[in-house]
Structure 1
């Protein structure tokens, strides 16, 4: 068993979004994504399936042509290769992020 310190707001060095990986095994990786209020989420689609669980903050999320309001307790599933992003971030937002298989760090290129 591992105890993982996660879910706290940690903006990036430039004050923008920050992804901090906290666990990696071949089948799964886990981390925390912090987005300051008013920031832009510039991520690209991933090669892995992804689950977000919002633990703090408020904003909106768009994926697969659908936009929803998000806040603490919101869980979101994004299939591999689907464009998605957080936006209209009204309060500093923190989401737990689970990738399966483990995040490759390689964005989708061409479909």
Structure 2
């Protein structure tokens, strides 16, 4: 078992820390201090953000969503996105599927054999 607690934002820029890696997924923490820019680029994997603390907006071509504690936000592989209007230090858990930077294409889902 591995436990993680959101750190105090002491950096002057966004910090990502991978916490777990398996072929099917990776999990990390992402902390963006208030008033700084989110430098991320599109990923080759689907991505889920679970907001632990702070406030911001997640912007993508399809619209934007509030990034507030308790929010669960999904971004499909390849989609431009970034957090903006970071008013309070933003702490999120990030889940990539498959694992980040694998560039893998998820296998096609087939119905079960009968």
Give TM-score, length-normalised by structure 1: 0.85
Structure 1 91/103 Cα, relative in aligned 2: closer, same or farther at 3 Å? same
Further displaced range: 67-76 or 27-36? 67-76
RMSD across aligned positions (CA): 1.6
Q: Which runs of 5+ in 1 are unaligned?
A: 107-111
Deviation track 1:40-88 (CA, whole Å, cap 9, x = no partner) reads 0011100000000000001111123301222100110100000000011
Equivalent of 1:72 in 65, 69, 72? 69
Equivalent of 1:101 in 79, 86, 98? 98
Larger Rg: 2
**Alignment partner, residue 86 of structure 1:** 83
Secondary structure at 1:56's aligned position in 2?
strand
